[in-house]
Amino acid sequence: MSTSTRTVLATLSATAIGATLALTPTYAASTSYVALGDSFSAGTGTYARTDSCYRSPLGYPALIARQKGLALDYQACSGADTSDVLADQVGALDAGTGQVSMTIGGNDVGFADVLTECALPGWLSDCHGEIDDSLVTLRTELPGRLDEVYGEIADRAPNASVTIAGYPYLFNGRDCSWATFFSGSEMRRLNDGTAELDELIEARSAASGFSYVDVRDDFAGHAVCDRQPWINNLTLPIDESFHPNRAGNVGYAAAIAPSLVGSPLSTSRMATAQSAPAPSVRSQAAAVLDLELDSKAHLRQAKQAGIRPGEIRSAVAKLRSGDDRVVRAGLAELQALDARVSDGG
């Protein structure tokens, strides 16, 4: 064998060995899955909290990991915004990370504050003002925040398949809870805000080279007041409210899994039953009583909105009754007063 032939073979062998060594960590990393994000990724809404961040075993990241044999590093945390992802979560990423999923952005634009304000009776709330403030943040600050988070993920996990998911519409145009007072126009604006947030997330994630999953079609027909809701209505504990329930997390998992692992999940094996019943009439009445609608300050606001204070006092008094039928009547009266204000009449 000539010297030149031996040199060529040695070079080829070294190249092959190097390629094999290079493939080994990539193969191992393919099962490494880091779930980043906020409460929608932490599984809030499934009534299965495990720690202060929630991190439910019934959240969509856990469902995907179990069925696809991925090694899950559950970093998502209820209440997280983009700054929290940067400070507390992305440290789990490295060159060996194979899969990354995330929902983020809702808390940056005040998800909880907006819903809390809009759920109040129309004569007490400034729902549209709160939505306006949220949209200012969405349009002026959130694009840069998302770019920073996405850039950090790309730098820290250069070999990962990264999937960013959006948020579902919460409302179908009907408020079916006695304890909330969403008007039709408020629900439309809240859904419109979700659409604008999702469009921004899609654009910025695509610019970063990540996969984007739009879940709004998946959740169609499963809003809070639909016959088969995938999202909790107002409930107790309060932080479970307006988040995907167990069925909703199955829906998220089915939508996200193909982008991460290249194949759909078998959803028939995933538990979908809710673990908590709908709030009772009395618990809803208690939530309304906590608003203190018959306080002097609130009665003044009601009067300014064209509602006689006596109407409020009468309805609130019924909520303290020992008869469920009377309690339900009081709740219905308060809903009718709110509708009167919201409809301008």
Instruction: Give me the residues paired with residue 36 across strands.
Output: 102
CA dist list (Å): 317 to 288, 293, 328: 12, 11, 12
In angstroms, the CA 178 to CA 157 distance is 47
Other residues' Cβ atoms within 10 Å of the Cβ of residue 310: 9
Contact present, 35 and 68 (Cβ < 8 Å): no
In angstroms, the CA 66 to CA 264 distance is 13
| 128 is a catalytic site residue | no
Catalytic residue among 32, 39, 161, 259: 39
What secondary structure does DSSP assign to 160-191, as a single string? -EEEEE-------S----TT----HHHHHHHH
Catalytic residue among 134, 183, 243, 259: 243
Specify the DSSP class assigned to residue 241: T
| 243 is a catalytic site residue | yes
Contact present, 268 and 260 (Cβ < 8 Å): no
Catalytic site positions: 39, 243
